Amino acid sequence: MFWAGDRPAETLDTLRELGFRCGQIGIPGQLALDSRMTQDWKKALEQANFTVYTVFAAFEGESYADIPTVQRTVGFIPRVTREVRERRMLEVSDFAAHLSVPAIATHVGFIPEDTSHPDYFAVREMVRRVCDHAVSHQQTFALETGQERASVLLDFLLDVNRRNLGINFDPANMILYGTGDPIESLVVVGQHVVSVHCKDGDWPPPEVPGALGAERPLGQGSVDLKAFLAGLKKIGYKGPLTIERETHDKDQRLRDLKEGRQLLEELKES
C-alpha cells in the first residue's frame, strides 16, 4: 500500500527496488486528480509494468489522533463534509477507471449501531450512490474494516444491498480500535472480503479512554499472522496480500514493507 504524489515514476521505482510488482494506491485528500495527474500515473504504471488493483480514497480534514477524533473527522460520517467527500469519491472512481483499476475503497468512518439514526440512512444512501457510480466502471467498492464490530459492518453491507460492495479486511484495525478478535471477525464477514491489508498493531491502552492502539511493523504486534493467513485460506480468499505500514518516517516505512514481505513469504511456505 503506497500513496500517490506527483512523482509517480520515482514512487514506482522505489517499490520495484523492494521487489513489489503490484499494490494498492492511496490518494491523499489534497491531491489534485486532474488530467495531467491521471496521465502521469497511467504512463508511469505502464512503463514500470506495475499493477494497481485498488485505489484508496482519503479525505482532507481526516485525523486518526484518537477514537473520538476519528468519529468526528473520518469518512462519510461527518455531515459538513459529506457532499464534498461524495464528489471526491466519484472522482477517485473515475481516476481508477482511467488507470483500469478494478476496485476503489475507503474508510467510511464509524457506522452508527443505531440503524434508525439519520446519519445511518444518509451514509447508506451515499454508499449506494458510490456503488452505482463504481459499477458503471465495472469496479467493486470496498469498505475498510475496524471502526465498528464485524457484525455491524456485515449488517450495514447487507442493508446497502449492492452486488459490487465488498470489504477490505484489515486485521490490525480490529485490534487498534478494540472492535473484536480479527480472526473471528474474518469468519463473520468472510464471503464479502475482496481485498486485505496485512498490518499489525497492539490493543488500545485500557488506562487511556478513547485512545487507539499503536500500529506496529508486520509481525511485531498482536495480530496472529499465521492464523490470519489460515483464515484467508479458509474463506477462499485468492487476492493479493497488501502490506500496509502507516508510519510517517519514509525510510522506516520502506524497511518495514521489505521485512513484512519477507515475513509473509516465510509464513506462506511454512
Q: Which residues bind Mg ion (CB under 5 A)?
A: 170, 197, 244
| Closest CB to Mg ion among residues 95, 144 | 144
Q: How far is CA 179 from the centre of its chain?
A: 16
Closest to Mg ion by CB, 62 vs 170, is 170
Amino acid letter at 245? R
Least distance CB 16 / Mg ion (angstroms) = 22
* Runs of H (alpha helix) within 99-145: 118-135
Of 189, 198, 27, 53, nearest to 107 by C-alpha is 27
Contacts 24+ apart (CB under 8 A), 151-156: 151/188, 152/111, 152/113, 153/111, 153/189, 154/188, 154/189, 154/192, 155/115, 156/111, 156/124
For residues 33 and 172, which CB has a smaller minimum distance to Mg ion in the complex?
172
Of the candidates 10, 15, 4, 11, the one whose C-alpha atom is nearest the C-alpha of residue 38 is 4
Strand partners, 165: 141
Which is closer to Mg ion, CB of 37 or CB of 221? 221
CB 68, min distance to Mg ion, A: 20
How near is the Cβ of 221 to Mg ion at its closest, in Å?
A: 13
Distance CA 90, CA 74 (A): 17
| Closer residue to Mg ion, CB minimum distance, 122 or 188 | 188
Question: Closest distance between Mg ion and the C-beta of residue 144, in Å?
Answer: 5
Give the nearest distance from C-beta 2 to Mg ion in angstroms: 13
